[in-house]
C-alpha cells in the first residue's frame, strides 16, 4: 500500500498532524508513506522516521505533479483541504480522504461568536481521516523529531539556566497573538525562575528589550537558534509559556507542562495543546492550561490572527493577568517537585 499525506503548513499544524503519520505506520508497517509539504517546512518534517519519502514544493505544487503521478499512490490523506490539495487530488487517480476544516463553523465563531464547533480537537479529526482506511489511534499524542546535529549543548546557556528554566515563546505569526513587550517584561520581572526567551530573528530586538529587565535571569534565545534548536530548547525546559504558535505544539510533543496564552485566537477553534489519550499525568495539576482574559465577548476574532485589534483596545492581551500566570507557573513547578534556582522578585 502506498499513501500520500498532504499538509502544506504551518509549523504547528504539521506537528498537530503528526499522530496521523505515526498511526498509519503502526497500523500498516509495510506501507509506503509519502508526505507533501512546502519547502519552507522541510526542517519540521525531514527527521520523521515514519515517512519513506518527502516532497517539498517551492512556488507551485504543479512542479511536483509528474513525480506524484509516477508514484502510483493507492490513497491520498488530505489534511490541508484547500485549492492546492484539490488540484493534486484531481491530478492523481488515488482514492482520497479529506479532513473537514470546518471553515463555516470557524467563520460563524470568529465573526458572530456563534459556536457550532464540534469540540473535537483538530488532531482527533486528522485521526478520523486515517480511520477511513483502517488505521487506529495509538493515543500517544504529537511527535517532533530533533536531528542530533541540532541538539543544543547545555553549555550554550548560563550556568544558572543549566539546572532548568522556564521557556517563554514570545513569537507568533500575527501581532494579535502576542502579548505586548511591556506585558512580557512584567512577566519576566515577576517570575522567580531562570527564563529562556524563544523566537525567530524577527523577535530578537523584542527579546533584547524583554531580557533587559534582568540579564542574569533572562536569557534571550530569539534569533540565536534555528527551528530544530528552538524545539530542543523547549525539550530541555522545565515548563513552557507560549502564545498560539508552533512551539506551543512542540511543547506538547515533548510532553512539557504548558501555559497557553490566547489573544485573538482561541482554544474554541479546536487547536489547544494536545497530549494524547494515553498520556499519564504524574502531577496533581493539569499538564496544560489555557490562559484567557475572562468575559471578553470579542474573542476569538480570527482563526489565524490579525495585524491589529479590530476594535482597537487589544484587551485579550493587554488585560492578561500576569500575577495569575506567575502563580500558575510556581504551582506547577512545585507540583512537578522540581527545584529551580530562584531570584528575588516583586510580585504585586
pLDDT digits (tens, 9 = 90+) for 160-192: 999 999 999 999 999 999 999 999 999 999 999
Cα dihedral 317/321/327/331 (nearest 10): -50
**Res. 347: pLDDT tops 60:** no
Per-residue pLDDT tens digits for 185-209: 999 999 999 999 999 999 999 999 9
Q: What is the C-alpha to C-alpha distance for residues 268 and 303, in angstroms, rounded to an integer?
A: 10
Q: Bigger pLDDT: 348 or 106?
A: 106
Confidence of residue 344 (pLDDT cuts 50, 70, 90): confident
Contacts of 264 (CB under 8 A, 6+ apart): 174, 176, 177, 299, 300, 301, 302, 305, 306, 309, 316
For the chain, how far is it from start to end, CA to CA, in angstroms?
61
Return the number of other C-beta atoms located less than 10 Å from residue 118's C-beta.
11
Per-residue model confidence (pLDDT) at position 321: 99
Per-residue model confidence (pLDDT) at position 150: 98
Query: 289 - beta bridge partners?
Result: 259
Per-residue model confidence (pLDDT) at position 46: 97
Smallest Cα–Cα separation from 71: which of 94, 47, 98?
A: 94
**Res. 218: pLDDT tops 60:** yes
Could you give the domains of the chain? 2-131 (3.40.50.2000), 148-335 (3.40.50.2000)
Q: What is the C-alpha to C-alpha distance for residues 235 and 257, in angstroms, rounded to an integer?
A: 11
**DSSP 3-state of 165:** coil
Average pLDDT across the chain, whole number = 97
Confidence of residue 14 (pLDDT cuts 50, 70, 90): very high
Phi, psi of 55 (to 5 degrees): -125, 125
Return the number of other C-beta atoms located less than 10 Å from residue 294's C-beta.
6
pTM for this model (two decimals): 0.96
Smallest Cα–Cα separation from 170: which of 245, 274, 258?
A: 245
Task: Return the exposure string of 158-181: e unless at least 16 CB atoms fall within 10 Å of the residue's CB, then b.
Answer: eebbeebbbbbbbbbbbbbbbbee
Per-residue model confidence (pLDDT) at position 346: 63
Q: Is the peptide bond before 63 cis (omega within 30 degrees of 0)?
A: no
Mean pLDDT confidence for 260-264: 99
Per-residue model confidence (pLDDT) at position 345: 83
Smallest Cα–Cα separation from 110: which of 264, 260, 315, 329?
A: 264
Angle, CA of 183, 185 and 189, to the nearest 5°: 120
**Res. 348: pLDDT tops 70:** no
Amino acid at each position: 500500500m502506498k499513501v500520500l499525506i498532504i499538509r502544506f503548513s504551518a509549523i504547528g499544524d504539521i506537528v498537530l498532524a503528526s499522530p496521523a503519520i505515526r498511526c498509519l505506520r503502526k497500523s500498516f508497517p509495510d506501507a509506503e508513506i509519502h508526505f507533501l509539504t512546502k519547502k519552507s517546512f522541510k526542517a519540521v518534517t525531514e527527521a520523521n522516521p515514519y515517512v519513506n519519502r518527502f516532497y517539498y514544493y517551492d512556488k507551485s505544487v504543479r512542479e511536483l505533479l509528474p513525480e506524484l503521478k509516477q508514484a502510483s499512490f493507492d490513497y491520498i490523506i488530505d489534511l490541508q483541504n484547500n485549492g492546492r490539495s484539490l488540484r493534486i487530488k484531481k491530478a492523481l487517480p488515488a482514492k482520497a480522504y479529506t479532513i473537514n476544516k470546518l471553515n463555516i463553523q470557524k467563520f460563524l465563531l470568529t465573526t458572530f461568536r456563534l459556536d457550532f464547533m464540534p469540540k473535537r480537537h483538530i488532531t482527533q479529526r486528522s485521526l478520523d481521516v486515517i480511520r477511513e482506511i483502517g488505521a487506529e489511534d495509538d493515543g500517544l499524542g504529537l511527535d517532533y523529531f530533533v536531528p542530533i546535529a541540532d541538539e543544543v549543548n547545555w553549555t550554550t546557556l548560563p550556568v544558572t539556566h543549566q539546572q532548568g528554566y522556564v521557556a517563554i515563546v514570545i513569537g507568533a505569526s500575527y501581532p494579535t497573538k502576542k502579548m505586548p513587550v511591556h506585558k512580557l517584561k512584567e512577566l519576566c520581572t515577576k517570575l522567580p525562575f531562570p527564563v529562556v526567551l524563544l523566537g525567530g530573528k524577527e523577535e530578537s530586538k523584542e527579546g533584547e528589550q524583554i531580557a533587559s529587565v534582568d540579564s542574569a535571569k533572562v536569557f534571550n534565545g530569539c534569533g540565536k537558534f534555528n527551528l530544530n534548536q528552538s524545539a530542543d530548547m523547549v525539550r530541555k525546559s522545565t515548563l513552557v509559556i507560549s502564545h498560539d504558535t508552533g512551539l506551543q505544539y512542540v511543547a506538547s510533543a515533548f510532553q512539557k507542562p504548558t501555559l497557553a496564552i490566547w489573544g485573538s485566537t482561541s482554544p474554541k477553534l479546536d487547536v489547544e495543546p494536545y497530549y494524547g489519550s494515553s498520556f499519564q499525568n504524574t502531577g496533581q495539576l493539569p499538564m496544560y492550561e489555557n490562559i484567557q482574559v475572562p468575559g471578553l465577548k470579542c474573542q476569538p476574532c480570527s482563526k489565524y490572527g490579525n495585524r491589529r485589534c479590530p476594535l482597537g483596545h487589544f484587551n485579550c492581551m493587554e488585560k492578561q493577568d500576569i500575577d495569575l500566570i506567575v502563580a500558575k507557573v510556581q504551582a506547577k513547578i512545585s507540583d512537578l517537585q522540581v527545584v529551580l534556582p530562584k531570584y528575588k522578585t516583586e510580585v504585586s
